Amino acid sequence: MIYRIEPDTLGRLWLTTNHGISVLTPASGIVQTLDRSDGLFNHEYNSGASFADADGLLYLGGTDGLDIVDPRRLPATSPPATPVITGLRVLGGQGPASTVPPESTPEVLYADRVELGYRDRVFQLDMVAMDFTAPNAARLRYRIDGVHDDWVQPHGAQSNVVLSYLPPGEYPLEVQAAGRDGRFGASRRLMLAVQPPPWRHPLAYTAYALLALAMLAWWQLRLGAQAREKRAQIDRLNLTVAERTAALKQANRLLLSSNEQLELATRIDPLTQVSNRRDLQEWLARECPQFIHEVTQPGAAGRCMLFCMIDIDDFKRINDGHGHQVGDEVLVEVARRLRQVCRERDILVRWGGEEFLLLMRDAHLQDAAGLAERIRRSIADTVVTLANGHDLAITVSIGLAPWPLSTRWPSMGDWEQSVRLADLGLYAAKAAGKNAWVGVVPGPRLDRSNLQSLLGGAVPEQLAPGSVEVLHSTASPPRFLRD
């Protein structure tokens, strides 16, 4: 407990406590302790009982009287104490192999290295911090590499360290001492070398290795005959296993190839090599949930999946006039040209007969007319050169419809209803003269009621004006109501 803080003329603070006087130098943080061993009368001081006179002397009142102190006689720092290793004693396990006598103080006092035998299992080190100017203030700390992770700081100026059952090796001991000001000085070092027992000596390990090699050689000679006798059997067995493994691998490859071909056959139209309806179903099951999430995000207005129903015009005339072989050639060529229109994430499906469904995953309503015209021209602008060398001009009619039909109500209507609308547009294009495209897209005034009517089977003429917009390449607006 601090009772009084009295500054001196040297810038230090004198703190009277219940355990003598502590002198603090604020600039360096050094604290020096004074007690009765330094000539003080008091061990405990009184609160507020101190003052400094004009000559700089300090008057400090305590329970046993008055102490008069001249601060100038106390240096700013004190010399560090001297660390001394005073003794090393073997406490247990000493025997014929010990190299340390029971009392080895003279040897350890000046030695830099001490050898300990493998029988010296328990031993004690004695250390002391020597400071003749302030013996009661001396402090000690030590550490042993391989034993301590940090400094061990015992209470007081003396310490006895007992070590037991150290593994063989070298253990550097480092001891430091501090004087009155608490600053530790130079280290006293001593190397503790614990010798291994004879059976763990490097020469012993060499002997073990030689013995093991000799036993191994003897064992190899003993087993050599048996190994050679069995080797032929093993070689024959390995050859048989290798032959059967190769046959099994070949069978697995054939099975895998057959499975792949079967899987491909169930997904791909064999004639045109485009997807079939099963592949479309799995594609939609995978893509539709993600696409609905995308179109409900801000800034997705106008985005849609665009369903393009494509039908080859007058295909029955081609089959009847040129034969089914030519009809197949036309189907293959149309599929090839449509694949060139497809983008990476689109899917082309042979819907049935001469009909194809091209589904553009990420389209925009404002681009629908341009996409439809591009599809139409990819077929109509170039004749089909048949295998017999003749050229045949063909055209297609196209119906368009988006999904979802309205991004305001994306959950209303499924993709099959968009296919129905695209099919409705296809028939309108056929009725308008063929070689054309007709699309049904949401109009600016489409409301929930009209959308439900459209999904329920109503045609554009039956809806309120502005509910839907009919895109077309025909000379006159197409009709959906049939007479």
Q: Which of 31, 56, 73 is the last residue of a domain?
A: 73
Query: Which stretch, 125-139, 256-270, 351-365, 449-463, has highest mean pLDDT?
Result: 351-365
Q: Look up the pTM and report it.
A: 0.48
For 177-208, the pLDDT digits (tens) are 988 778 888 889 999 988 888 888 788 889 88
Residue 479 falls inside a structural domain: no
- Indicate the range of 197-201, 461-465, 473-477 predicted with least confidence: 197-201
Q: 3-class DSSP state for residue 62? A: strand
Residue 53 sits in the same domain as residue 92: no
- 248 with 286, same domain? no
103 and 176 part of one domain: yes
My answer on whether 384 and 448 are in the same domain is yes
Q: How confident is the model at residue 22 (pLDDT cuts 50, 70, 90)?
A: confident
Same domain for 89 and 104? yes
Which distant-in-sequence residues (6+ apart) come within 8 Å of 280 by Cβ? 347, 349, 357, 359
- The answer on 227 and 196 residing in a single domain is no
pLDDT in the model for residue 163: 87
Residues 386 and 463 in one domain: yes
Pairing of strands 396-403, 58-62: unpaired
CA–CA separation, 351 and 356 (whole Å): 5
Same domain, 233 and 371: no
Cβ–Cβ under 8 Å, residues 192 and 173: yes
pLDDT of residue 195: 86
Beta strands in 339-387 (DSSP E): 347-352, 355-364, 384-385
Q: Are residues 146 and 211 in the same domain?
A: no
The three-state secondary structure class of 159 is: strand
Q: CATH number of the domain that 106 lies in? A: 2.60.40.10
**SS3 category, 149:** coil
Per-residue pLDDT, 99: 52
**Distance separating alpha carbons of residues 87 and 106, to the nearest angstrom:** 8
Res 264: pLDDT: 66
Is 272 inside any structural domain? no
Q: Is the pLDDT of residue 121 over 60?
A: yes
Looking at residue 429, its amino acid is A
Q: Domain range spanning residue 41? A: 2-73
Are residues 286 and 313 both part of a single domain?
A: yes
- CA distances for 459 relative to 244, 296, 413, angstroms: 68, 27, 15
Give me the number of domains the chain comprises: 4
pLDDT for 346-375, tens place per residue?
999 999 899 999 999 888 888 999 999 999
List residues bridging with 177 in a β-sheet.
140
Residue 17 CA, distance from chain mean position: 58
Q: What is the pLDDT of residues 32-89, one digit of tens each?
A: 888 887 788 888 888 888 888 888 898 988 988 888 888 888 887 778 888 999 888 8
Mean pLDDT of 273-285: 90
Q: Would residue 442 count as lying in a domain?
A: yes
Q: Is residue 477 part of a domain?
A: no
Residues 88, 65, single domain; the answer is no
Distance CA(128)–CA(139), nearest Å, equals 9
Among left, alpha and beta (phi > 0; psi -120 to 50; other), residue 466 is left
- pLDDT tier for residue 338 given thresholds of 50, 70 and 90: very high
User: Is the peptide bond prior to 404 cis by the omega test (within 30 degrees of 0)?
Assistant: yes
Region 129-141: what's the mean pLDDT? 83
